[in-house]
Amino acid sequence: MLSKNQARAFFLGGTVVFFLIFLGLSWHTLAREVPKQTHEENLTEAVVRGKKIFDENNCMGCHTILGEGAYYAPELTKAYERKGEAYIKTVLTVKEPWQPRGRKMVAYAMSDEDASDVVAFLKWIGEIDLNGFPPKPDLQSKVPVPAK
């Protein structure tokens, strides 16, 4: 049985040890793993401008990106991979609001340059190593097919 002083020393010692382990793991993640996964070397001025345009137009008010944002409109993390540059630029430069699948998309009527910057941002986001997020849907049928 530990005395009161021994229990206090054990608690404080354990707290300090695990806090130091936490700091070490946090440093390792932020200094070594995050740069490898985000491909910081691919950050260009266009990507930064695209992020600024994305924020100024409150795209996260309707869309999610990297799992954050609203759930009204489609997830945009892998939008470049799914839809491609031409589709995204068309959506951003169209001058009339439109309703894909019954949900109204704002007509931003962006310039080609602004749309290209947003596309560059979405492309960079799509190339981040997210450890399998968002998961690819399992499109295989779960219903057994009867033998003929």
Residues 92 and 74 in one domain: yes
Within 10 angstroms of residue 100's Cβ, the number of other Cβ atoms is 10
Residues 24 and 80 in one domain: no
- Claim to verify: residue 20 and residue 76 sit in the same structural domain: no
45 vs 99 pLDDT, higher one: 45
Omega of the bond prior to 146 within 30 degrees of 0, cis?
no
Q: Are residues 99 and 47 part of one domain?
A: yes
Same domain for 48 and 118? Answer: yes
Q: Is 29 in the same domain as 64?
A: no
Residues 18 and 64 in one domain: no
Residue range(s) defining the domain that contains residue 127: 43-131
Q: Is the pLDDT of residue 92 over 80?
A: yes
CATH for 119: 1.10.760.10
Cβ-proximal residues to 105 (8 Å cutoff; 6+ apart), any chain: 73, 91, 97, 98, 99
Q: Give the closest residue to 110 by CA, choosing from 139, 80, 90.
A: 90
Report the distance separating Cα 97 and Cα 91, nearest Å: 9
pTM listed for this prediction:
0.71
Co-location of 110 and 70 in the same domain:
yes
Mean pLDDT, the chain, as a whole number?
Answer: 88
Question: Are 128 and 39 in contact, with CB atoms under 8 Å apart?
Answer: yes
What integer pLDDT is reported at residue 139 of this predicted model? Answer: 67
